[in-house]
């Protein structure tokens, strides 16, 4: 992979300009600290993705210095969706934390499955890996109990009926 020789000052400027916590950026770019320190360089693909997340033109990272001056209008772009998801999930998570059916309550609120809630909670750091894996195992067991499966012999009769109706 080809590495991109970027200006670290421009990278710092882009992060400061967005005004978000560096930990949020680390979720998508775990090596951002090494890039800021100059220990490693990002690939062009990583830099393209970073420029989109930071709302900075790709070519800006190759300039000799960060742009000077202020934006003529306030920066009213919407926050990246993952920041909003984390904030709302955090609020709902703590609201239902005392509930016996925490995952079910949060899943109902966001209209997703419980496994999605558990995975997002793990990704954000609300739960530890062992807690997620325990939930996942229990979830699979519960889903297997719900699944009834088909009757192989009844399937043969069904196929015969479909075939005979097709021939008519």
What are the distances in angstroms from CA 16 to CA 13, 20, 74, 139? 5, 7, 15, 41
What are the distances in angstroms from CA 138 to CA 82, 97, 135? 27, 19, 5
Residue 153 confidence (pLDDT): 52
State if pTM tops 0.75: no
Residue 19 confidence (pLDDT): 73
Q: One digit per residue, pLDDT tens: the chain, 168 residues?
A: 788 888 889 888 888 887 777 888 888 889 999 998 989 999 889 889 888 888 888 888 888 888 776 655 454 455 455 554 556 767 777 776 777 788 888 888 778 888 888 888 888 788 889 988 998 898 888 877 776 665 555 555 556 666 666 665
Residue 159 confidence (pLDDT): 61
Residue 5 confidence (pLDDT): 87
- Please report how the helices 44-54 and 8-18 are oriented relative to each other, as an axis angle in degrees rounded to 10: 30
């Amino acid at each position: 992979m080809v590495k991109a020789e970027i200006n670290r000052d421009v990278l710092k400027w882009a992060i400061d300009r967005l005004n978000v916590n560096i930990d949020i950026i680390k979720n998508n770019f775990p090596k951002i600290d090494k890039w800021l320190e100059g220990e490693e360089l990002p690939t062009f693909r990583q830099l393209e993705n970073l420029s989109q997340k930071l709302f900075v033109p790709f070519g800006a990272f190759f300039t000799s210095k960060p742009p000077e001056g202020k934006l003529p209008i306030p920066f009213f772009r919407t926050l990246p969706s993952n920041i909003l998801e984390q904030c709302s999930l955090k609020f709902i998570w703590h609201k239902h934390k005392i509930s016996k059916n925490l995952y079910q309550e949060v899943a109902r609120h966001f209209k997703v499955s419980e496994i999605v809630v558990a995975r997002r909670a793990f990704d954000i750091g609300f739960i530890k890996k062992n807690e997620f894996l325990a939930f996942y195992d229990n979830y699979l067991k519960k889903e297997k109990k719900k699944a009834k499966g088909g009757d192989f012999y009844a399937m043969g009769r069904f196929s015969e009926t479909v075939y005979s109706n097709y021939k008519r």
